[in-house]
């Protein structure tokens, strides 16, 4: 029986998989066929999570969460199921697993394939996104999938990434906002409020980030509802279906 280890960086991503309030940086079982690890943002955190899941018996690894668009045709809420990962070198996706998951999704979802790029930092401008797109040929970017793919490749395990676009090419999280975000992606109000009071960040920017993030999370939740069997989630999902 395949046991899927799911790596999520941020709490909003994890909530799309399970309503459980997850502890940070710890493996949590979701039944006999799946476990999840809320690891925090970045490649090192994702690598630690992937290794931990593998050590605890995962026989397949999945990177699950949000992504930034590098292709201007991708909009918030679009789903990216890449066919390869670019992280210094090309890393493989289990294409059979990808096909099986894709076939379970409703036709209304806009799904892109192609390549997903790994980045060591949050891209906070259209210029940075365009430069990465030109350098790699990728259609989207995140910070964790490359590390999980590398861990899977080293162990000879199947790997799949499921990513929903949260920020289009022309709109990105402003760099000053990054200091007001905790490791699990949740806002640190003690740091955020002064930025708002000084107008370093506007309410309009936060509103758009929230709207785009909700569109992406809605897509991820749809994937879980329809493709839970491919994520190893059927036993717990049937008991905890929400919304």
The domain spans of the chain are 4-233
Cα–chain-centroid distance for residue 238? 23
Which CATH homologous superfamily contains domain 4-233? Nucleoside phosphorylase domain (3.40.50.1580)
- Residue 226 CB-half CA count within 13 A: 16
pTM recorded for the entire structure: 0.92
- 60-69/27-29 β-pairing: unpaired
Going by pLDDT thresholds of 50, 70 and 90, the confidence category of residue 215 is: very high
pLDDT tens track for 120-164: 999 999 999 999 999 999 999 999 999 999 999 999 999 999 999
Q: Tokens at residue 212, please?
A: 């785009």
Where do we find the tokens 């000053």? 176
Q: Tokens at residue 233, please?
A: 């989630």
| Residue with more model confidence, 37 or 200 | 37
Q: What is the mean pLDDT of the chain?
A: 93
Average pLDDT over residues 198-211: 92
* Selection from 113, 120, 160, 163 nearest residue 138 by Cα: 113
Virtual CA dihedral for 88, 101, 213, 47, nearest 10 degrees? Answer: -40
- pLDDT computed for residue 213 by the predictor: 96
């Amino acid at each position: 029986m395949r046991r899927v280890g799911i790596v999520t960086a941020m709490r909003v991503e994890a909530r799309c998989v399970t309503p459980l309030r997850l502890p940070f940086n710890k493996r949590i079982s979701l039944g006999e066929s799946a476990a999840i690890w809320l690891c925090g943002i970045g490649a090192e955190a994702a690598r630690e999570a992937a290794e931990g899941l593998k050590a605890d018996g995962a026989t397949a690894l999945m990177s699950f969460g949000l992504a930034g668009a590098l292709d201007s045709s991708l909009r918030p809420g679009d789903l990216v199921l890449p066919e390869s990962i670019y992280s210094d070198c090309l890393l493989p996706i289990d294409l059979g697993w990808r096909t099986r998951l894709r076939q379970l999704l409703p036709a209304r979802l806009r799904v892109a394939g192609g390549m997903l790029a790994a980045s060591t930092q949050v891209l906070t401008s259209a210029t940075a996104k365009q430069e990465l797109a030109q350098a790699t040929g990728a259609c989207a970017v995140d910070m964790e999938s490359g590390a999980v793919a590398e861990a899977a490749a080293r162990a000879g395990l199947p790997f799949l990434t499921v990513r929903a676009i949260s920020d289009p090419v022309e709109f990105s999280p402003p760099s000053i906002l990054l200091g007001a975000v905790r490791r699990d992606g949740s806002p640190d109000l003690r740091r955020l409020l002064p930025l708002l009071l000084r107008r370093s960040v506007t309410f309009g920017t936060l509103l758009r980030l929230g709207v785009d993030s909700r569109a992406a999370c809605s897509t991820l939740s749809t994937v879980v509802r329809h493709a839970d069997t491919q994520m190893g989630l059927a036993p717990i999902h049937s008991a905890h279906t929400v919304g």
